[in-house]
Amino acid sequence: MSFDDEMKKNPAGREQSSDDICDCADVHENLVEFVERTMPPETELYDLAELFKVFGDSTRIRILFVLFEAEVCVYDLAEALNMTQSAISHQLKILKQSRLIKGRREGKHIFYSLADDHVRSIIAEGREHIEEM
């Protein structure tokens, strides 16, 4: 395969159609300038990418779905998800560090819930998106 043919492949390795490739090398300066003015700072983009990485683990997604419905303690989560308390605690720590969940102490128990309505919206929008496909 030639270098040009290799360049026409997309990241998944599938051939791209001719509709996916521009036939000219013209740069749209106004668009580029607009993007440069409106692009968030690199630190913000990095933080956003890190946040989305947290959603990249199915155990954490399962925990978030439970918390979408109810405030629960680690033992309830472990039972509901058929996992060990230790495994759940590890994932809760990651979710809490990412400010996706919060804990509320009641006696000897800590009850976990979604941190705010933004988390609820992210989950709902994600579900809506995959249901469209």
The tens-digit pLDDT sequence of the chain (133 residues) is 444 444 445 445 555 566 777 778 888 899 999 999 999 999 999 999 999 999 999 999 999 999 999 999 999 999 999 999 999 999 999 999 999 999 999 999 999 999 999 999 999 999 999 999 8
Residue-level pLDDT at 20: 75
Residue 113: CATH number of its domain:
1.10.10.10
- On whether residue 47 sits in a domain, the answer given is no
Q: What is the DSSP letter of 30?
A: H
Neighbours of 67 (CB within 10 A): 24
Contacts of 11 (CB under 8 A, 6+ apart): none
- In 46-108, the DSSP E strands lie at 72-73, 101-106
Rounded Cα distance, 106 and 7, in Å: 59
- In 12-108, the DSSP E strands lie at 72-73, 101-106
- On whether residue 92 sits in a domain, the answer given is yes
- On whether residue 86 sits in a domain, the answer given is yes
- Domain span holding position 115: 57-132
pTM: 0.75
Residue-level pLDDT at 74: 96
Count of domains forming the chain = 1
